[in-house]
Amino acid sequence: MRTDSYIAFTPGAGRFPLVAQGRAAPIVVSASDFPGVTRVVGDLQADVERVTGLRPEVVTDTVPETGEVVLVGTIGKSPLIDGLITAGRLDVRGVAGEWETSLEQVVEHPLPGVRRAFVIAGSDQRGTIYGAYDVSKQIGVSPWHWWDDVPVRHRDALYVLPGRHSQGTPKVRYRGFFINDENPALGTWAPGFFGPGLAPGYASGFNSRFYARVFEVMLRLKANYLWPAVWGRAFSEDDPDNHAMASRYGVVMGTSHEAPMMRGIEEWNRHAVAAVRDGDGAIVTPGHDPYGGTGEWSFRRNREAIERHWADGIRRMREQGFEGVVTLGMRGTGDVGLPDGDGIDLMTSILAAQREILAKESGADVTTIPQIQTLYKEVQRYWDQGLRPPDDVTVVFCDDNWGNMRKLPDRSLPERSGGYGIYYHFDYVGGGRNYKWVDTTNLASTWEQLHLAYAYGVDRLWVVNAGDLKGQELPLQFFLDYAWDPGGWPVERLGEWQRAYAAQNFGPERAGDIAEVLDEYGRLQSRRKPELLNRKITVDPAKDLATDSSAVVNDDRATPFSLTAYREMDRVTAEWRRLAAKAGKIREALPAGCDDAFYQLVYYQVKATANLYELRRAQFTNLLYARQGRAATNRMADLAQARFDEDQAMSRYYNETLAGGKWHGFQTQPKIGYGDVERYGPNAPWQQPEIDDVVLPDAFYPRLKRIEVPRAAGMGVAIDGSDAWWPAETSPAVLPAFGPYQTAPGQYIEVFNRGTTPFDYAITPSVPWVRVTPASGRVTDQVRADVRVDWARAPEGTTEVPITVTGPAGARVTVTAVVEKPDVRVRGFVEAGGYVAIEAAHYTRAVSAEGAGWKVIPGIGRTGDGVTPWPVTAASRTPGGDGARLEYTFTLIRRGPVTVSAYLSPRNNVLPTEGLRYAVSIDDGPPQVVNVTRVTGADDTTMNPGWARNTSDNANVTTTTHTARGPGVHTLKFWMVDPTVVVQRFVVDTGGLIPGYLGPPESHHAG
């Protein structure tokens, strides 16, 4: 996204009057130019009218003698532009012959009778198109003006500044997205809005009216490449005009990783019935397909028919003359591995057959046809085992569907003429769970992975799964902006990019506030996908993660955010509540005409996610209270139900009222009922629940519980950091240890009623320097009392303080407060409560060595910033000595061994090394090397439970054990081993750590 501007709204020296004094300069284009260029001038004409209310005239070939004109054309295709070049009026050095490059310049006296011309000249068709749309964006028309109803600010006049202006040449050649996982939202809305597909029997197909809108926003975003929708849809069949429409817009078409040779997989599925075979391979039930075969999607068993199917795809491409990138290889139908196995010999024969078909049917040199092989999921095994497609084929590496690249080019290998690409995800259907509802992208994390890929030479083709397209606007625009110019957007400018994005859609006045909301939104969402808020993942410590997949235990009846440890669920819900309130205030302050756009691009996703957190907090509190028999149980069920009703109301508003009902059916994606195996079957842990069921009150999973509360009062006691209750619990009630350096000043004791009759309570500490507020009172359903220590009066050392809680009918519970007042000099992060927690970016010292230093990546962590070795192409090394490291000063209060947990971003080993490694040590102890790949047992190819845990948790937590010298000041050292590690935080457990999801709040820092 450009942040500079060559458009002004007031006159000035040398400025060209695009619109001034009630007149719009006419737009001139040549009929001999590309179809995409002659079409785009109509959009430019409409955009000028949107902004000013004046509609410029569009003139073909003839230049009106009106003083000022706008000339739009492609070098070598427009006689008007070529004439200016020949006459020396237009200097196109640095533009002519480049890929998709444009020049915008005011030219004095370009032609007889013309005083000045504003020239938009492109090196090729898309260069000119991008130039025209850049003008549209500069005058104030957002790329999302149609897709999100972004209003256009009125301007009385538009002027172009003098000088040469250009967007430059894109660094990545093919840039685009995949419309995928498009049911139910897009699949419901699009046929309803644009009309049905035209293939007989397939009304749910997407027609050319729909794709025209897709192509337009693509080009406004400087994309050039599309994988069309595939869920029951066939681009080439759903509307015979679809490919022609792509040509009219100048868009490059491709097909996804499972759809080779320019044929959608649905083109086979619609017309073939596979033969059924017995265990010996003999056909039991005959099948058929349009090519006289058995209907099986099997290269071994139905080769001739499949080859004829592929040949038709390439023949169609030649005959219709559309621009495309041909996908090679083969996967099983249904987004799975090949039914014939994954031997290299099989894939080698498939590639050879496809290349032969390409050469024969295209009539061209096969090495001149853009081709890719996408190493998606199991396909990467071919590469790992040594298979290499022909050198001119672009090898597309993939992420693990959760935004973490799986492989990057080995820099020691020779360069490929076809280069490398990436396939990335902002949306996904599959394990560990679908995420399709709202944008959950952390921009800093996306930046880090895209930067990594580009640094390793991946620059030929970038494509991202954008799901329904709508709902992924911010990450998609960033992906495409970054692909255009990675060097222009270092991590330090991410905030600037977000402010520009906000200003583009809502104006500069509130852009800063909106950008802050979007930034915080991405950070909070990156902690965990909303669809996973009812799945808690634990590891059986008695099992080896690397060898035993059963070591990972998924519980879809629990929340990952602890209700009791460090008040985690309360804290994260409060953060969402504050963010939603801030978004609400901005919404109220914006002009009424911005409301529809703000609702779509900002407010809905913030407010609806905050509401979902409120719902989950109430739901799981309800279940905890039900186990404890609390009188407040049913009130929490009511609160959860109210939050569910609010969710449904927001969906109805989106579908029925927003933008006058324009987006009817778009907000239909389930997100609450995941995991219900009884109702939805064995795929329920990852697959979305059925739509009809999710609108029912019992869509909650796990179910809400309502209890019969007895009339008689009954006292229960709960304490900070525990989900047990007393007197039912047989073990002592012990509060987490108090310390003068703890970040939370107090802890709580909760007195609750197990009946409907109120009762009086009292909480009495055994010493006067422990204070409880309120120490007494009346309990209707529950009271939370704050417990604090007067540190000026507390004795040194460790003191156990009994606190007596009394209630009705002589009920009595003793709670123990463990008070630790150390006699030790403190520095750095100080232990309290039995732990030290440190955010990785808060290092004492960052040591560079041997060409490797460190880079802070703001906001990439679940609780703060992250740090990674820099540059990312630095060589791996052995830790120790004066090696590259981060040092953290901290103070221990207790004696004994400690464990250090390093929280890393959940990256895969993308380099040809033995694993993803780091090392950690304390003081002068030897560095302990941790091979994250080995320790967690994560396999991104099989997508095993270890991998699913890391990606679902969005963190990779590994632990080492160390011996510290004792109480006092120490140094934690984090050593670089491999360059692609991103560390988020550390937790040193001295014996008091309470298990939670995010880990405890950062410790107090002294000095």
From the list 375, 447, 492, 539, the residue with the least C-alpha distance to 955 is 539
Confidence (pLDDT) at 134: 98
Cβ(834)–Cβ(736) below 8 Å: yes
From the list 56, 64, 6, 58, the residue with the least C-alpha distance to 33 is 58
Average pLDDT in the chain: 96
Strand order in the sheet with 102-111: 58-60, 27-29, 67-74, 114-122, 102-111, 164-165
pLDDT in tens, 369-414: 999 999 999 999 999 999 999 999 999 999 999 999 999 999 999 9
pLDDT in tens, 3-48: 679 999 999 999 999 999 999 999 999 999 999 999 999 999 999 9
> Strand (E) positions, 665-790?
715-719, 733-734, 747-753, 759-765, 770-773, 776-779, 782-789
Q: 180: which 2 tokens?
A: 């995928």
Mean pLDDT of 787-799: 96
pLDDT in tens, 490-502: 999 999 999 999 9
Confidence (pLDDT) at 731: 97
pLDDT(1) > 80: no
Minimum mean pLDDT range among 93-102, 317-326, 433-442, 931-940: 931-940
326-327/371-374 β-pairing = parallel
Q: 645: which 2 tokens?
A: 């009703």
pLDDT in tens, 511-544: 999 999 999 999 999 999 999 999 999 988 888 8
From the list 246, 268, 403, the residue with the least C-alpha distance to 320 is 246
> Strand (E) positions, 754-896?
759-765, 770-773, 776-779, 782-789, 797-806, 812-821, 828-830, 835-839, 845-847, 853-857, 866-870, 885-892
pLDDT(333) > 70: yes
Q: 785: which 2 tokens?
A: 């009392």
pLDDT(961) > 80: yes
Amino acid code (one letter) for 746: G
The band of 487, judged by pLDDT with boundaries at 50, 70 and 90, is: very high
pLDDT in tens, 808-831: 999 999 999 999 999 899 999 999
pLDDT in tens, 703-742: 999 999 999 999 999 999 999 999 999 999 999 999 999 9
State the DSSP code for 991. Answer: S
Confidence (pLDDT) at 861: 97
pLDDT(65) > 90: no
Confidence (pLDDT) at 844: 98
* Per-residue buried b or exposed e for 904-930, using 16+ beta carbons within 10 Å of the residue's own CB: bbbbbbbbeeebbbbbbbbeeeebbbb
Confidence (pLDDT) at 700: 83
Confidence (pLDDT) at 542: 84
Sign of the Cα torsion 447, 450, 455, 456 reads: positive
What distance in Å separates the CA atoms of residue 488 and residue 504, rounded to the nearest whole number?
18
From the list 280, 388, 284, 267, the residue with the least C-alpha distance to 333 is 267
Share of the chain above pLDDT 90, in %: 92
Report residue 711: phi and psi, to 5°: -70, -40
Q: 304: which 2 tokens?
A: 């001739």
pLDDT(416) > 90: yes
991: how many CB neighbours lie within 10 A of its CB? Answer: 13
The band of 546, judged by pLDDT with boundaries at 50, 70 and 90, is: confident
Confidence (pLDDT) at 25: 97
pLDDT in tens, 240-273: 999 999 999 999 999 999 999 999 999 999 999 9
DSSP three-state, residue 856: strand
Confidence (pLDDT) at 852: 97
What distance in Å separates the CA atoms of residue 433 and residue 688, rounded to the nearest whole number?
8
What distance in Å separates the CA atoms of residue 281 and residue 19, rounded to the nearest whole number?
73
Q: 552: which 2 tokens?
A: 């990972």
Q: 178: which 2 tokens?
A: 């995949």
State the DSSP code for 432. Answer: S
CA angle, corner 336, sides to 333 and 339, nearest 5? 70
